[in-house]
Amino acid sequence: MSAHLSTSSSSDPSPSTPGSATLRANAIGTVGVTATVVSAAAPLTVMAGVAPIALAIGGVGVPGAYLLAGVVLIVFAIGFTAMAAQIKRTGGFFVYIGHAFGGTAGFAAAVLAIVSYNLLQIGTYGLLGTQASAALDNIFGVSVPWWAIAAIAVVAVFVLGALGIDVGTKVLVVLISLETAILAVMAIAVVVRGGAQGLGVASFDPGNVLQGGVLAVLGICFAAFMGFESTALYRAEARDPARTIPRATYIAVAFMALFYCFISWTVVQALGQAEVQAAAGKAGSALFFVTIREYVGPWAEHAMYVLIVTSVYAAQLAFHNAINRYVFGMAESGALPTIFARTNRAGSPAFAGAVQSVLALTVVIVFALAGLDPFKDLLIKVNTPGVIGIIVLQGLAAAAAVAFFLRRRTIARRTFFIASSVIAAVLMSWVVYVVVRHLDVLTGAPKEINDALVAVVPAVLVLGLAGGLVLRRVRPKTIALLARDNEDAQGDDQ
């Protein structure tokens, strides 16, 4: 993999001038982009940290649900990546929504994306602090406050992000390889030993996958893929982006779907298909650690404690990079102050990164001073509207792909892209409905709090639309840039 990385992700990267507004071109290839987005999903964290909840509620059908989520997102990726190949601008959802529905809609989508990614990234510092504190206690018997670890991590994420996307990508490739390896070791050991009662395939029976308990945790399954769509954010830094971005997107989704499905299936086998729900509920958050200790040994349990910390750190770095490039794209259009579009010598939007890091550090300090729980309050409650916001944006992006290709009659395979995007928009709408309906499963909070968490998303969209309408009046060229590529903008909105 390291040899592939050297040829695929950093071959003769173009340097950047300090204080310029240019990202570092040709900095990463397919492996680098894929590693970045898979790291944002944090496979070890998703499995060891969150899958036990899904298994305790959904039972034997959960592995099939991860596969189902992957299939839905592959369908979404068809139109999404086809748009990415046609649009040259740096950016994610807001660029595609803007091209389809106009700059005002694009501005609202950008606001929701920036808020959602920040909620996901900042909330996860609660998990990082909790997991790191548990690892130090388990391995060394040392007690360190979660907030102290989280504060150090904020600084470490900023520093590595400022060193440039190519440097950060190399670190992410190493970390993602290690966390994938420890899970694979556990899974292979379970398969070789035949699990608790022999190996079975009940996890893929449609009756088990589509039953009420599994649908209740479908939001957990989709949350496991958060960040995969950020491949498009690295267009300006990718080698041959027209090919790299679609490849990285499909590889990332396919890898995560198959890997999550396989790993969770082996844990089902380790517990026994008939007893999985009860056993997962009894083990709780220690499920994967108990399983790897039983099937591999104590050394593997200690290794997993260490690697889950690096897994969360990798996710934080990947989300940090994605947020900064969203902000960069907005500033490049003039929708944010131009200082956010300035890059350092490494071609990193370091000022945007510094502001994001200060925000994250402030939230960590406030939660610590208030004595709030880093897992239930900072992670779960802060992450929840972020997860809903990203799924809503995926649905809007699918609808944008339909509108985009309906107006472009000369594009090859246009009918296929339209059909797949219609299906994706319907499926993503259904996912939003299921997640909101069963939100209490994700949060464990009362209805009033859940209603407030859900309300964050439409409130941000309304504020974004209002801001876009104001910007359309006072800076029409900026709104035009959000709806078109730079060279095509004529100063009027669509």
Determine how many CB atoms are found less than 10 A away from the CB of residue 407. 9
For residue 178, pLDDT over 50 is answered with: yes
Q: What does the alpha-carbon distance between residue 131 and residue 49 come to, in Å, rounded to a whole number?
A: 9
Q: Which amino acid is at 59?
A: G
The sign of the torsion formed by the CA atoms of 408, 87, 103, 78 equals: positive
For residue 318, pLDDT over 90 is answered with: no
Give pLDDT tens digits for 405-443.
Answer: 998 888 888 999 999 999 999 999 999 999 999 888 778
Residue that wins the pLDDT comparison between 322 and 55: 55
Task: Give a yes or no: residue 493 inside a domain.
Answer: no
For residue 493, pLDDT over 50 is answered with: no
Q: Which amino acid is at 372?
A: L
Q: How many domains are there within the chain?
A: 1
Give pLDDT tens digits for 227-248.
Answer: 777 777 777 777 777 788 888 8
Q: Which amino acid is at 129?
A: G
Task: Give a yes or no: residue 207 inside a domain.
Answer: yes
Residue that wins the pLDDT comparison between 7 and 167: 167
Band (183; pLDDT cuts 50, 70, 90): very high
Task: Give a yes or no: residue 114 inside a domain.
Answer: yes
Identify whether the C-beta of residue 312 lies closer than 8 Å to the C-beta of residue 45: yes
Give pLDDT tens digits for 129-146.
Answer: 998 998 898 888 899 999
Task: Give a yes or no: residue 154 inside a domain.
Answer: yes
Q: What does the alpha-carbon distance between residue 120 and residue 170 come to, in Å, rounded to a whole number?
A: 23
CATH of the domain at 211: 1.20.1740.10
Q: For residue 51, list its beta bridge partners.
A: none
Give pLDDT tens digits for 325-382.
Answer: 888 878 887 888 989 988 888 888 889 999 999 999 999 999 999 999 998 899 989 9
Q: What are phi and psi of 5, to 5 degrees?
A: -60, -40
The predicted pLDDT at position 375 comes to 87
For residue 4, pLDDT over 50 is answered with: no
Q: What are phi and psi of 20, to 5 degrees?
A: -80, 180
Identify whether the C-beta of residue 217 lies closer than 8 Å to the C-beta of residue 2: no
The predicted pLDDT at position 21 comes to 53
Identify whether the C-beta of residue 436 lies closer than 8 Å to the C-beta of residue 388: yes
Domain housing 317: 2-488
Q: What are phi and psi of 343, to 5 degrees?
A: -115, 155
Q: For residue 50, list its beta bridge partners.
A: none
Q: How many residues does the chain have?
A: 494
Task: Give a yes or no: residue 169 inside a domain.
Answer: yes
Would you give the distance in Å from CA 336 to the centre of its chain? 24
Determine how many CB atoms are found less than 10 A away from the CB of residue 189. 18
pTM: 0.85
Task: Give a yes or no: residue 494 inside a domain.
Answer: no
Number of helices (H) and strands (E) in the chain: give both, helices first. 22, 0
The predicted pLDDT at position 118 comes to 95
Give pLDDT tens digits for 185-225.
Answer: 999 999 999 999 999 999 999 999 988 889 888 888 998 88
Identify whether the C-beta of residue 315 lies closer than 8 Å to the C-beta of residue 124: yes
C-alpha neighbours within 13 Å on the C-beta side of residue 258 = 8
Task: Give a yes or no: residue 171 inside a domain.
Answer: yes
Identify whether the C-beta of residue 157 lies closer than 8 Å to the C-beta of residue 384: no
